Amino acid sequence: MQGKKSLKYQVEPGGSLHGKLRVPGDKSISHRSIMLGSLADGVTEVTGFLEGEDSLATLNAFRAMGVEIEGPHAGRVSIHGVGMHGLHEPDAPLDLGNSGTSMRLLSGLLAGQDLAITLTGDSSLSGRPMKRVIEPLTRMGAIIGATEAGTAPLVISPNSHLKGIDYPLPMASAQVKSAVLLAGLYAQGETVVTEPAPTRDHTERMLQGFGYPVKRDGSRASLVGGGALKACRIDVPADISSATFFLVGATIAPDSEMVLEHVGINPTRDGVISILRLMGADIEIENEQTVGGEPVADIRVRSSRLHGIDIPEDLVPLAIDEFPALFIAAACAEGVTRLTGAEELRVKESDRIQVMADGLTVLGIEAEPTMDGLKIRGGRLTGGCVESHGDHRIAMSFAMAALRASGAVEILDCANVNTSFPGFVHVANQTGLHIRQSEVS
């Protein structure tokens, strides 16, 4: 995971987007398929698996703990589960690269194993806050060491005596919720998590798919430890976060129309569609169905004129990963768009509030950051050179901005796009973007 070459994008201005496209598989579901499949009894077959660096970090971590995993081959993975207590202590620290999901969820899943395991990552992951996970896990009896700042590496000590807790989440976070519930699989008694606002529920859905009972009552999710997981088949839908770049691109670029196929539209993840529609986007949902417990559909999007809005705070947790692209939509909208209640954006792969504000300013857009959001006045995008700070979603968002820019947009530090969207440059060019990738010495 270390020592990646530095890559930059050069995107020519203008153009329109057309065609049908199935973007790579959902990253959140891909992570969880490996985790739960590894602990299940039997062989779990996965199709549509995201072959990005983050998901592969999770896959390689379980291989290092003794799980036989075949693939991925064209999105197909076979996981030979070892059961709830069949993992082995790895020979070296588990390097999770850039993946915060891997680190936070594994912290919970490994907290009750009788194994000594260290979790490490790249410089970006090593700067992200982990106290939010360590605190509830410690209350359950876990023994987890971290740096003085509460960051990785995380040192997890052997422990087989966790106790269930009733934990009200201090902030809406699917990763913290999932970490506590996964630790609850190994805890004595019931583990209950109550969230202040809805967050993605892939963990609860997938646990039930593996035959593990999970009770859900409004904002509460609970389970009782000591059960088992049974292998199953998982069809991973296309990732709505990856689809978002093309939803925004086809909305802002004149004379565009695209169909994004087999996209996961889980109601805890579809905030981006609601927000774009509030701004005036022309988006239709077609061919709705349920696959493996997850709702999926084709999404048709056409060019439209956008207007600025005050983004409803209840939609923020449902679109938290999509805001970099939504900020590009706001830059192309008439009037002012205001986001509040999104302080979580400051502790993602980068400080997404500040980094997007800086990049938009370079491109001639008035963007005023606040502690928990951003105020953007729509205007005319110019060309320029922006810094992505190694954040995959920042890089892809600014690539779409070029569709409405008056000059070329250069984006630095783009190697991490492969964490979530391998082949992005090729796919984007096929749909109508004019983008070149080059190495930086």
- The Cα 196–Cα 173 span in angstroms is 9
Q: Is residue 255 among the annotated active site residues?
A: no
- The Cα 44–Cα 193 span in angstroms is 27
Beta 215-217 vs 233-235: how paired, if at all?
unpaired
Query: Is 176 in contact with 136 (CB distance < 8 Å)?
Result: yes
The active-site residue out of 321, 372, 391, 413 is 321
DSSP state, residue 25: B
CA distances, 357 to each of 112, 373, 375 (Å): 42, 10, 9
Residue whose structure tokens are 């008035």: 366
DSSP state, residue 112: T
Closest CA to 30 of 82, 85, 83, 69: 69
Query: Is 104 in contact with 178 (CB distance < 8 Å)?
Result: yes
Query: Is 212 in contact with 37 (CB distance < 8 Å)?
Result: no
- The Cα 15–Cα 206 span in angstroms is 40
Instruction: List Cβ<8 Å contacts ≥24 apart for 383-387.
Output: 383/13, 383/407, 383/408, 383/409, 383/410, 384/409, 384/410, 385/409, 385/410, 385/411, 385/412, 386/358, 386/359, 386/362, 386/410, 386/411, 386/412, 387/355, 387/358, 387/359, 387/411, 387/412, 387/413
Query: Is 225 in contact with 35 (CB distance < 8 Å)?
Result: no
Query: Is 182 in contact with 146 (CB distance < 8 Å)?
Result: no
Rounded to the nearest 5 degrees, what angle is found at the Cα of 316, between the Cα atoms of 314 and 322? 150
- The Cα 271–Cα 312 span in angstroms is 10
Query: Is 81 in contact with 229 (CB distance < 8 Å)?
Result: yes
Query: Is 133 in contact with 100 (CB distance < 8 Å)?
Result: no
- The Cα 240–Cα 244 span in angstroms is 6
- The Cα 410–Cα 12 span in angstroms is 9
Residues facing residue 300 across a β-bridge: 259, 284
* Tokens, residue 358: 């800086």
* Tokens, residue 252: 């802002």
The residues annotated as belonging to the active site are 321
